[in-house]
Structure 1
Amino acid sequence: MNVSSIPEGTVCFEQQLHWSRGIFFNESPFSSNTSLLLAQLSFCAIVTASLHRLLTPLGQSVFVSQILAGVILGPSVLGINSVFRDKIFPVSSFYIVDTFAYFGVMLFLFIIGVKTDLSVIQKSGKKVVAIGICTFSMPLLLNSLLGNLMTHSIPMEPRLHRSIIWIASFQAISSSHVIVCLLADLNLIKSHLGRLAISSSTISGICSSFWALIVFTGKQSVHAKQHTFLAMIFFIVVMVFFALCIFRPITLRMIRHTANTKSVKESHICIIFIFVMASAIYGEYFGQHFIFGPVILGMVIPDGPPLGSALVTKLEFFVSSIILPIFFVVSAARIDFSLISMRNFVIIEILAFFATLWKLAGVMLPALYWKLPVSDALYLGLILSNQGIMDVLILERAKSIELIDTESFTVMVLSIFLFTGILAPIVKFSYRPTKRYVVAAGEWMTLQNANPNSEIRILACLHYQEHTPCIINLFEASYPNPLAPISFYVVHLVEIAGRTAPLLMAHHPGMRDPSVPSESDHIINALRFFEHENRGHASVYPFTAISPYASMHEDVCTLAAERSVSMVITLFHIHPLIHVSEEESNAIRVVNQNIIQECPCSVGVLIDRGTMNCSAASLLHHDVYRVGVIFLGGPDDREALAYARRMAKRPTIRLTLVRFVDESGGGANMSTSYSGGVDADLDVVNEYKDSQMTNKQCFYQEEAVQDSVGVVGVIRSMESCFDLILVGRRHEDDSPLLAGFQDWNEFPELGFVGDMIVSLEYKASVLVVQQALPNEDYFDNPQNLRQDSFVGMEMPLNDNRVWPAPAPRGHQSGSLAM
């Protein structure tokens, strides 16, 4: 071949078709393309994960870690070393790596499309639409005008002069996926500002994508010097038509034939992958980027379970953690800092800085017009000003069709890295989302303060359909009746999968949403049946909340405040009949802890001992169901007693109040002086005693003990006496009756006594109650937790300990099974 016929920039290397036989044959494992690719994937994944682990506490998003890993492994840092470059990233491997990286990007963007919820556009109000459009249009117009002004006022190189307008405009685009990932990294995805940012970024992202598509199509048409613009637009419309009218009905048919996420057929997944690859070929053949088709197909697939969740579960972790990092190394290989001149760097950075200012203005002006607080409008602008991988991909496409040059591409990617690295920590460390579910002082959402003969509202949280029987049994025990009806709100908490935006959906009779897990249908059907059996005095309002575990409690707390419920019931994370991974169990435990800490009303943690999946017939007919209340004093014990007294109105429930008094203090109750203290405890106990005169199913037992050993002995003797035990969560830390309990408190969310009962492995179920206080700091102040004693001793109703006898007719403990 004539040397002069070889194009400039061509690199020749020896073609390698053999496998490495290993070091025992004096062959390097890196001599094989396969082993070299595996080594490159490993290096990229390890470096990216390590950087992300180090930078996350500093408020950095995963995009910053990915770009930084690409730069470190690229030719600008480690690539300078010839040994590392020739062994790990030789030039001969780049065509393989490049192909593999872009295949991963194609799958990644397909996942993005699957997780995109286009329904937010239909649900968007005028405020969201205005913010989204202004976020796109204002920086695009103003930055383009600024770029045009700079071309006439600042001397610059010809290549920069030709592309300055495009540089200015591309710095104004945005992506909804980037914003959602940033909100997830900052743990703001469930906040009010996070929801507004997701909706607004979806609109601005669609506008940006549409604009970029028109620009790239027009540029290719002009570059070809043929009138192909209308033809290219026609084939784009054909692709969209196929996605909406053919591909989407196919996926909907797949969903109708799928019971749940785990039962999605492999053939369905295979068919979808074939369509994805075919759409990529279609886009390349008709002059579009190969990612265009997969993104469109992904967006028309219904997000969430069953199909969307299955696709995301099968692809997301492997693609984003293993394949995607190498894309940033490939992109970094195109970055050459030696090509950057200071003058061009300053010009492009000025445009980047003003593009950020225009975005802030584009967000804040409509936000302030719709009465959003100034601070929230500012933080919303900072969030929507971030850019990420989608913007890098658009810049790469612009460079490939010569809208921008290599130097401008390098500086613009560096700008995205710098501005994202600055804006994200500002939001993380300075923004504190407003807890709109905080209740004003004096507005106690508790059972004790509710009118005993008026309607109350109880909210129950469950994670699995196996929790449904125990929740319904507890509802039965709460005794909704015509004189004291109860409204039950039930929230099925589901970890988010297969979608980007969280969801809180109310289920109305006769309505079915395919995006909601089918497991929710079984729960709803059982609740509807309970409501039918108790029609007229029990109302059930089911919800499904789909969100990350880290912010799952916010849905519960917000709903509790909006519906003015008196108590939230949540299930203990350990259940003998439900087997989940330790990671999932710990995540549910954190959700419970967050609910206990932040809920504006009383909270009850229900520990099912495995017998609560029995029928509720014992309450509905004539069996005796035995409920016990362990009373050591304090607001939580008073709240537990208030709930138990409502249960005791059911004729088939036998209630026993077991009150502990400190024998060393002259028989005084061990209650403290906080939140009413001794007087409040005496009032509720005396009121309970008075109620015994009219309710023969109520019993009272007083236990005088000297220390914690006596408390344990009494509670241990109660093992076979009750089907359900209610106890307060918080008690005085330094009480002699609880001495040593704190040293063995395995589950602090259950309190000292609740944790001790669980450790005894009772067959009876336990409900640990925490009463809502107007000021939690008062309770947490050790000065407010001093021990008091009674002025006089209250005589017990029974001199000897006589526990209620087991129920007649062969009643077994836990027939209702709380």
Structure 2
Amino acid sequence: MMAQLLSLGLGRMKQPKVIAEVLGGILLGPTALGRIPGFTQHIFPSQSLPYLSLVANIGLCLFLFIVGLEIDASIIKRNARMSAIVSLAGMALPFGLGSALSVPLYHHFIDPSVQFTHFMLFTGVAYSITAFPVLCRILTELKLLDTTVGIVVLSAGVGNDVVGWTLLALSVALVNAGSGLTALWVLLTCVAFTMFLLFVVKRVMLWLARATGSTDNGPTMFYMTVVMILLWACAFFTDIVGVNAIFGAFLAGIIVPREGGLAIALTEKLEDMVSIIFLPLYFTLSGLNTNLGLLNNGITWAFTIAIACLAFLGKFGGCTIASRLSGFSWRESSTIGALMSCKGLVELIVLNVGLSAGILSPRVFSMFVLEALTLTFMTTPLVTALYPPERRVIATSGGAPPQTRDDECRDFDADKKSLVNEEQPWRHRFTVVLDRIEHMPCMMALTQLVRPPVPDFSSLTTAVSMSTASHPTPSKHKTPEVSISALRLIELSDRTSAVMKSSTADTLTHTDPLLGIFRMFGELNDLPVSTSLTIVPHDDLAHNVVDHAKRNASQLILLPWLPPCVGTAETSEGGTPRRDKFDHNPFETIFGTSRDRSTSAVHSQFVRGVFAQSETDVALFVDPGNQLNTGAGTGGSHHIFFPFFGGPDDRLALEFVVQLCANPKINATVVKMEKREIGNTQIERPPSVYSDIKADTNSLALLHQHGVTTSTMIGFPDTVYGQANTQMRMQSETADSIVWTRYAGRNLSDSDIPGPLRAALSRINFTSLASPVPLHAAIQRASMCQRVLVIAGRSKRLAVEDHRAELKDLVEEHRVVGHEVISKTIGDVATAFVVSGCASAMVVLQAAANVRME
């Protein structure tokens, strides 16, 4: 409980969870709560300490087994040249400084019965080691794994960890041995045992994994049993030989096969119990041995500060200089040095081994614990300051930084402007977001919609040939080839397995089932698909999508969404909808939570984040009924309905409809909606409804005349309507008229129209419709069509009309509750179609940020 409570606050500071666990153990010990009279005697009585120590050591063996599973030798092989110098320098200089500092420390604080060489060796190892598990977590959370700096640090950290554990095993062997000859025998025995595991047992484990099908379907019960027996057998052997049980557990983790994600699957089965129960117990035991109250005089604090400063300077200086000599810039070199100075859990394990062996005194142990805590705490903010996102260099397969990316983006932007602003509004570079298997049908349907028309269709061929015969089509009017970048999103959780997946993202890109399905979909439909995979925390998912689209110069982001199921409201005795009395829970406001924590509701936050941050046009595919019936298949013709209300999002939607209708199998009805008084209406509604809506719209118009915005929603910036002042209305109406005239007012017999555009416009029926209740009118017109795909602009910014009053009436008519999340996500117009249920599917579009600000 103490560790979890501390992690809530430290997590917001981007600190790894190990900080909270170490602090929790220290606070439970004699440093803080242990000072309360009777606390230690009742909570941690002396009779319980042997059992606590036993369980903690079992948990420590399991943790070191997971650390061994994390270490991938292929990482060292791929980056041996870059990381070898950094790893060696990051161990040699700190080891020398630690050995030098051990001289005054030994004379001031260590009992003379302890041999100086043993203490010096432990001090040097504690200085030179790097916390690889914590380092992986920091690299993942700071999104550095795909940078050149992250690759070097990861491979150097693996080598550092292996050498560090070897040195620690040597240190323990020397301490436990009665003579140098005995220590040599222990060391040679461990080397022989390690060779036997690496060259014999490892091959047997791989054969057994393949024979039992564990590499294909995850570890079987039999294979899991064999792995556990191997783990405890290795731990037992190294313990009786005279080293420590944790080294055997570490070796057992290294020899487990990596094929088929087997190591990740084993980690998933063990990590929860280890991280929730066993590790906190180990830190509690460590905290009971840590008493910061012993740092009670000037000389002790002077040595503590010296320990921390020299430990940081040794790691930071050695790795920085080595990186600089390897060709990195000073900024990158200093970032590598700052990351390698992370201590975390591994140094605490070294210190506890030294304390249990009697080499370290409680005072020196507390001094080193404070040093490890300080260096781990400062790693994240220091790296963030030294290596901000705009300075990062993404590594490529060949190791060279992509220097031409900015030039390519500028070329793509120019190409995009020339395509969108000319007569043909074709968008051809798309980013497709894949996050769940249930969203795959949505993304396949939307991708099928935006694909270019097949050239051998008779109608399109005829139109193009007629245009070419009379006026040759310039090259700029050619339909460009579609380029699709599929981005697979995986949420980074607190689990170690998630960090392991992020470090092997390159492999997962080729084995991920969602990406495999979408690649096959692209091959079957002759669509070029490039794939990528990213593992980031939930709060960074939206930013990652936006950044990926920007880096790939995408012109449209394609998102899926299955909206929360809206239910029918309960009615009171008078027949009016009755609200749930728990709708306004004060605790939800205090803690920022919501009652609706369904998958769709949580996913809507991600969708709204993309809408809010995107500098690229966004198309959201909405499946209202969770049963896809899009009409985007290959057989038969399909109909699109688009109500044009105006605004930048609707103008984008109109261009999108024109592009879709370039496909001969798609036709559309585009209705320009206009709000007018009852006398000019073209639909028939009950008079009672008209009177209510008329009063609401009149009051709304009065507010607009005085420049008052009617939305007071707080939270996402994309949920607030723009000020409907006269200047904004004139600008928006002018832009609407230009776009409407460009497509609806064209004479198809005009020879200046390019062939593909003429063919697309011939399949669109442009009409106008005036009504005091435009949402009702649009729904009624759409309901006349069968198998209809509704396209709408999101219109959450710079909207000319606010439909909130009419949407409220529409919701009450259908007696629907739970529409608030939908309205915040896709806007009022699209929400009206979802609530009414007249659309089999929808596509909601939002224009890019630079367009919305014009």
Does the alignment reach a TM-score above 0.5? yes
The one-character-per-residue Cα deviations of 1:225-248 (angstroms, maximum 9, x if unpaired) are 524132332223223334532224
Alpha-carbon separation, structure 2, partners of 1:94 and 1:129 = 42
Structure 2 residue 701 is the aligned partner of structure 1 residue 701 = no
Q: Which runs of 5+ in 1 are unaligned?
A: 1-45, 508-512, 785-818
Q: Give, as a single letter, the amino acid of the residue that structure 2 aligns with 1:457.
A: R
Contact 2:673-2:774 at 8 Å conserved across structures: no
Note the C-alpha offset of 1:100: 0.9
**Distance change in 2, residues 1:371/1:473 (3 Å):** same
Distance between the aligned counterparts of 1:428 and 1:583, measured in 2?
A: 34
1:234 matched residue in structure 2: 192
1:393 shift after superposition: 0.6
**Structure 1 contact 187–550 (Cα < 8 Å) conserved:** no
Flag the 1:568–1:246 CA change in 2: closer, same or farther, 3 A: same
Give me the whole-angstrom Cα distance separating, in 2, the residues matched to 1:129 and 1:739. Answer: 63
Alignment of 1:225-624 (within 5 A): 225-226=181-182, 227-228=184-185, 229-254=187-212, 258-259=216-217, 265-301=220-256, 307-337=262-292, 340=295, 342=297, 343-368=299-324, 374-375=330-331, 377-425=333-381, 432-434=388-390, 443=413, 448-449=420-421, 452=424, 456-480=428-452, 481-482=454-455, 483-496=479-492, 498-501=497-500, 503=502, 519-520=513-514, 524-525=516-517, 527-528=519-520, 530-532=522-524, 534-535=525-526, 538-553=527-542, 556-574=545-563, 582=597, 584-610=599-625, 613=628, 619-621=633-635, 623-624=636-637
Tell me the distance in 2 between the aligned counterparts of 1:370 and 1:633: 58
Instruction: Please tell me the residue identity of whatever aligns with 2:513.
Output: E
Give the secondary structure class of the aligned counterpart of 2:848. coil
State the alpha-carbon separation in 2 of the partners of residues 672 and 606 from structure 1.
33
Aligned partner of 1:750 in structure 2 is 826
Deviation at 1:682, TM superposition (A): 2.6
Q: Work out whether residues 156 and 344 of structure 1, in 8 Å CA contact, stay in contact via their aligned partners in 2.
A: no
Comparing 723-732 with 100-109, which one deviates more in the overlay?
723-732
Q: Which amino acid aligns with 1:489?
A: S
Counterpart residue number, 1:22:
none
Paired residue type of 1:414: L
Amino acid corresponding to residue 723 of structure 1 in structure 2: V
Match for residue 626 of structure 1 among 636, 639, 658: 639
| Equivalent of 1:84 in 39, 42, 48 | 39
- State the distance in 1 between where 2:504 and 2:565 align: 30
Deviation at 1:732, TM superposition (A): 4.3
Quick one: which amino acid aligns to residue 367 of structure 2? V
Deviation, structure 1 residue 370 = 6.4
Query: Please, which of 40, 53, 66 is the counterpart of residue 21 of structure 2?
Result: 66
Q: CA deviation at 1:359?
A: 2.1
Matched, 1:759 2:729: no
1:163-184 C-alpha deviation (Å, 9 max, x unpaired)? 3564244123212111123455
**More off after superposition, 438-447 vs 453-462:** 438-447
Contact 2:564 2:600 in 1 (8 A): no
Is contact 1:633-1:731 (8 Å) kept?
A: no
In 2, the alpha carbon distance for the partners of 1:169 and 1:517 equals 39
- 384-393 or 750-759, which moves further after superposition? 750-759
Deviation at 1:99, TM superposition (A): 0.6
- The range that moved more, 432-441 or 452-461, is 432-441
Corresponding residue SS for 1:171: helix
Look up the match of 1:718.
Answer: 782
**Could you say if the C-alpha distance between residues 422 and 546 of structure 1 is closer, same or farther in structure 2, counting changes exceeding 3 Å?**
closer
- TM-score, structure 2 normalization: 0.72
C-alpha distance in 2, partners of 1:81/1:723? 71
Distance 1:554 1:130 in 2: 35
After alignment, is 489-498 or 380-389 more displaced? 489-498
Which residue pairs with 2:674 in the alignment?
Answer: 661
**Aligned residue identity for 2:38:** V
2:259 and 2:44 map into 1 onto residues whose CA distance is: 39
> Secondary structure at 2:229's aligned position in 1?
helix
Quote the offset at 1:59 in angstroms: 4.7
Task: For residue 701 of structure 1, give the secondary structure of its aligned residue in structure 2.
Answer: strand
Could you tell which deviates more after superposition, 281-290 or 369-378?
Answer: 369-378
Tell me by how many angstroms 1:287 deviates.
Answer: 2.6
Counterparts in 2 of 1:346 and 1:761: CA distance versus 1, 3 Å = farther
Alpha-carbon distance between aligned partners in 2 of 1:147 and 1:114, rounded to the nearest angstrom: 33
CA change 1:58–1:131 in 2 (3 A) is same
SS of the equivalent of 2:451 reads coil
* Cα deviations by residue, 1:325-345 (Å, 9 ceiling, x for unpaired): 111111122234565574345
Looking at structure 2, the residues matched to 661 and 625 of structure 1 have their Cα atoms a distance apart, in angstroms, of 26
- The amino acid across from 2:775 in the alignment is V
CA distance in 2, matches of 1:608, 1:232: 61
Q: CA, structure 1 residues 453+584, in 2 after alignment: closer, same or farther (shift >3 Å)?
A: closer
State the distance in 2 between where 1:334 and 1:737 align. Answer: 65
State the shift of 1:76 in Å.
Answer: 3.6
- Partners of 2:442 and 2:283 lie apart in 1 by 50
Give distance in 2, aligned partners of 1:204 and 1:676.
63
How far has the Cα of 1:156 moved from its partner? 7.1
Paired position in structure 1 for 2:585: none
Q: Which amino acid in the other structure matches residue 557 of structure 2? A: V
**Is the deviation greater in 296-305 or in 459-468?**
296-305
How much has 1:613 moved relative to structure 2? 4.7
Which stretch shows the higher mean deviation, 58-67 or 739-748?
739-748
CA distance in structure 1 between the partners assigned to 2:559 and 2:152 by the alignment: 29
- 8 Å Cα contact 1:629/1:658 also seen in 2: yes
CA–CA distance in 2 between the matches of 1:749 and 1:720? 27
Question: Structure 1 residues 586, 319: CA separation in 2 closer, same or farther (over 3 Å shift)?
Answer: farther
| Equivalent position to 1:687, from 736, 742, 767 | 742
Q: Aligned partners of 1:156 and 1:86: how far apart in 2?
A: 28
Change (3 A) 1:382 1:302: same
**Structure 2: gaps spanning 5 or more residues:** 393-404, 456-478, 567-595, 682-700, 702-723, 749-757, 809-818
- Report the 3-state secondary structure (helix = DSSP H, G, I; strand = E; otherwise coil) of the residue aligned with 2:390: coil
1:738 and 2:803 matched? yes
One-letter amino acid of the counterpart of residue 33, structure 2: L
Aligned CA distance change for structure 1 residues 194 and 331 (closer, same or farther; 3 Å):
same
| 1:564 alignment partner AA | A
Call closer, same or farther: CA 1:76–1:492 in 2, change over 3 Å. closer
Work out whether residues 628 and 726 of structure 1, in 8 Å CA contact, stay in contact via their aligned partners in 2.
Answer: yes
| Aligned equivalents of 1:174, 1:60: Cα separation in 2 | 17
Letter in 1 for 2:782: M
**Equivalent in the alignment of 1:8:** none
Q: Specify the alignment match of 2:657 in structure 1.
A: 644
Q: Within 5 A, what are the aligned runs for 1:169-248?
A: 169-183=125-139, 197-221=153-177, 223=179, 225-226=181-182, 227-228=184-185, 229-248=187-206
CA 1:489–1:383: 2 relative to 1, 3 Å = same
Aligned residue among 21, 26, 51 for 1:96 = 51
CA distance 1:361–1:278, change in 2 (3 Å) = same
Give the distance between the partners of 1:191 and 1:703, measured in 2 at CA: 55
TM-score (norm 1): 0.75
Deviates more, 1:438-447 or 1:62-71: 438-447
Question: Aligned-pair distance for 1:187?
Answer: 7.4
Displacement of 1:65 in angstroms is: 1.8
CA 1:53–1:544: 2 relative to 1, 3 Å: closer
Query: Residue 36 of structure 1 corresponds to which residue in structure 2?
Result: none
